[in-house]
Structure 1
Amino acid sequence: MTRVLQVITGLERGGAERQLALLLRHLPVTCEVATLTRAGTLGAALQDEGIAVHEIGMRGNRDLAALPRLVRLIRQGRFDVVHTHLYRACVYGRVAARVAGTPRVIATEHSLGDGHLEGRRATRGVRALYRTTERLGNATVAVSPTVAARLRGWGVAPGRIVVIPNGIDAAAFAFDPGRRAETRRRLGIGPEEFVAGAVGRLVPTKRFDLLVEAVARLDARPGPAGQAPPGGVRLLLVGDGPERDALGRLARRLGVSGRVILAGGTDDVAGALSAMDVFAAPSVQETFGLGVLEALAAGLPVRYTTCPALDDLPPGEAPHARHVPADAGAWTTELALLADPGRGPVQRAPVPAAVARYAIAEQAERLARLYRDGTRRTGRPSTREYIPT
């Protein structure tokens, strides 16, 4: 049985971290996990499932003392493959794997934006270090053709890039009325209130400020006979990040702090989605758009600005998802239409074909084949052939 060490920067709540946890439950290989920093709640959950989790104890980006500790772990484990996730883990993990003599070194690029890497500006030095260490591996997995194109733009050789999309367990997000009621009670949301929601890291490129502005504009619209509209729209933002305080200040300045719920991170994304009536994703930069797929699996209507997971598919595969430009006025119009009391309660939709294309079991099997092969075939790559079919 192939033995794989998954190396990741940390195991706090986040899209890449949740994706790794999901993969670990479906990969047909034996895996252990090394986290450069703290294991956190997700690491504890993995250990409860019987997966060995090792903390390397890195104290910062330049803590070189972590490198020999990681090398020692790889050598002692005699792993067939080292698979790295996120920038810091990719840099240190590739070097450690080569020093330890690991025969196969794979990396997944989860968070490469246009000029940004994991929400931070990608400087010339960051790009140079990335290219240098990338050559130490056998292949780099891009989670979408969009990411593959960015990797090529950074100077990564096209023949070293494999597109294996993120995966989703659709059944885990199925709508549950009981979970909806419980989550709404916990968050202080009334059973009849209309809730627009989003899930993601609170960083500038997500543009959650547009949703706060849209809610404020809706709140200011006159109702019948010039009266304020009853109920209005609640905004539920699930996630944490550096923009949290700024979003709170914006809500207070616009007079809608009572309508905006900054719920923080959660291990129960399915419960949060159950509490929503529409999923709003105004992000202007995405590497994949897993939150959009999870919302579609929950039967929610979706409005989004950028989502490679949908944009890379043929039209019509997600009929309840609609593109909205990154403009507060456009988002106001969309939310007003969806929240119109004349439409009646929002009905949950069937899970669309787009979600089935990204089934986690299939993506895990593709990754396992890459582990066994070590490198993809040579020649001019065609990223399209790696899009789920």
Structure 2
Amino acid sequence: MRILHIVTGLAAGGAERQLLLMLRHLPPGYDCEVATLTNPGTVAVALRAEGFTVHDLGMRGNRDLGVLPRLIRLVRAGRYDLVHTHLYRAGLYGRLAARLAGVRAVLATEHSLQAGVIEGRPTTRGVRVLYLAAERLGSATVAVSGQVAGVLADWGVPADRVHLLPNGIEAARYARPAGERAAVRDRLRDELGLPRAAFVVGGVGRLVPGKRFAVLLDALAETRPAGRPEARLLLVGAGPERPVLERQAERLGLADRVHFTGERDDVPELLTAMDVLASPSAEETFGLAVLEGLAAGLPVLHSACPALDDLPPAAAPGALALPSDAAAYAAALAALADRRTAVLPRPPAVAHYDIARIAAELATLYDRLGPAPPRRRADRRSTVRA
């Protein structure tokens, strides 16, 4: 089965990394290519390195309608059996282009939809009208959590058009023997300018207001040594909020204790440099960073994680839910700094969200929507074009 994945961009965000993992773990028989409307970033590099074709459509902005005929030509030329879109802008243009190009099997994954917010932006009446119009052009919509499925239902999307298929993690990448983990930890701390003895609080995600990383800076200001190792904050990710956070660090006298890595594709390794992962976002559609922290054996503090809300509490004993305010995080971080522990055992939640199982379920959905995959096709990757 030939499948074209259309995505808004390919920077190292959660949805983009999920696309990479899904393609990496799909069973044989699915010949996938990717089209990015804009920003072919680090995930595009990783996809090409693994042999996947990535088409850059060079879209210049939300209203660059010239991308539509280019996308239609691409879909027609590729003779795809199914088109799978990811993120809002790709969902609008991708579903329309697929229909105009004659592709009947059109699937969309809704990665980031909350009550009143889509991908960090308010869902105005116009956005909602466009979304629902585009949704009707598709065959089905995938919701990555029960929370997302609930919003789709509130918007009036029929339940029989929505399939709950959560995100997944590549659990094996986060597990390391103790000796290897210690070596990676020391190397990365030296590289990042982190003292080896420091108590390192980590945050992973796009640097945007909705992630509320400012809460961690305020908490860090309250977490003073007082007989415990110095606390540092390591923020992994890029985004428009970085200058704001840098100014906040200066104002709080934390400039030498807050470390920004920028966009990175080695998150499993970077987690070894942390003593705790903190996710103060008040709203999430899934909570991928929380699961990554648990897979790496870290204690995790979080304020929103639908992925864990869908499971019994015993599935993630290393995760502690907190209000999204500095006082709560400062108190919890101080307690963890006072009783630093070795790597925690992997909780059941990690196995539940194993990417291999999720990818197999996605393949089953592909088979239901499109033609059956060729029996003798052995390689899911397409030939990289010059």
Deviation string 1:257-312 (CA, Å, 9 cap, x unpaired) is 21111221111101210100001111101000111111111000111110011111
Cα shift at 1:350: 1.2
Corresponding residue for 2:376?
none
Corresponding residue for 1:172?
173
Q: Separation in 1 of the partners of 2:267 and 2:84?
A: 26
Whether 1:187 aligns to 2:188 is no
Corresponding residue for 1:323?
321
Q: Separation in 1 of the partners of 2:23 and 2:367?
A: 16
Whether 1:19 aligns to 2:18 is yes
Whether 1:75 aligns to 2:70 is no
Cα shift at 1:230: 5.7
Larger displacement relative to structure 2 (286-295 or 229-238): 229-238
Q: Separation in 2 of the partners of 1:240 and 1:172?
A: 22
The SS at the match of 1:316 is helix
The SS at the match of 1:135 is helix
**Counterparts of 1:57-136 in structure 2 under 5 Å?**
57-136=58-137
Corresponding residue for 1:253?
251
Whether 1:202 aligns to 2:207 is yes
Cα shift at 1:38: 3.2
Larger displacement relative to structure 2 (198-207 or 139-148): 198-207
Q: Separation in 1 of the partners of 2:55 and 2:119?
A: 23
Q: Is the 1:97–1:105 Cα contact (8 Å) retained in structure 2? A: yes
Q: Is the 2:140–2:161 Cα contact (8 Å) retained in structure 1? A: yes
**Counterparts of 1:371-382 in structure 2 under 5 Å?**
371-374=366-369
Q: Is the 2:215–2:325 Cα contact (8 Å) retained in structure 1? A: yes
Query: Normalised by the size of structure 2, how large is the TM-score?
Result: 0.92
Deviation string 1:92-133 (CA, Å, 9 cap, x unpaired) is 000000001112000000011232111122211111100001
Query: Normalised by the size of structure 1, how large is the TM-score?
Result: 0.91
| One-letter identity of the residue aligned with 1:265 | E
The SS at the match of 1:275 is coil
| Change in 2 beyond 3 A, CA 1:40/1:204 | closer
| One-letter identity of the residue aligned with 1:350 | P
Q: Provide the aligned length of Structure 1 versus Structure 2.
A: 364
Whether 1:365 aligns to 2:360 is yes
Corresponding residue for 1:281?
279
Q: Separation in 1 of the partners of 2:213 and 2:106?
A: 37
Sequence identity percentage: 57
- The 4+ residue runs of structure 1 with deviation greater than 6 A are none
| One-letter identity of the residue aligned with 2:243 | D
| One-letter identity of the residue aligned with 1:283 | S
Corresponding residue for 2:292?
294
Deviation string 1:137-188 (CA, Å, 9 cap, x unpaired) is 0100000000001112222222211110001110111242222111111110
The SS at the match of 2:113 is coil
Deviation string 1:186-244 (CA, Å, 9 cap, x unpaired) is 1101111100111011112211111101110123x7x3xxxxx5642101111111211
Q: Is the 1:114–1:285 Cα contact (8 Å) retained in structure 2? A: no
Whether 1:151 aligns to 2:152 is yes
Corresponding residue for 2:260?
262
The SS at the match of 1:31 is strand
Corresponding residue for 1:42?
43
Q: Is the 2:112–2:285 Cα contact (8 Å) retained in structure 1? A: yes
Whether 1:218 aligns to 2:223 is yes
Deviation string 1:337-370 (CA, Å, 9 cap, x unpaired) is 0111xx3x43101111000001111111111111
| One-letter identity of the residue aligned with 1:8 | V
Q: Is the 1:110–1:143 Cα contact (8 Å) retained in structure 2? A: yes
The SS at the match of 1:25 is helix
The SS at the match of 1:83 is strand
Which one has more relative contact order, counting CA pairs under 8 Å at least 6 apart? 2
Q: Alignment partner for residue 354 of structure 1, among 324, 327, 349? A: 349
Q: Is the 1:215–1:235 Cα contact (8 Å) retained in structure 2? A: yes
| Change in 2 beyond 3 A, CA 1:324/1:6 | same
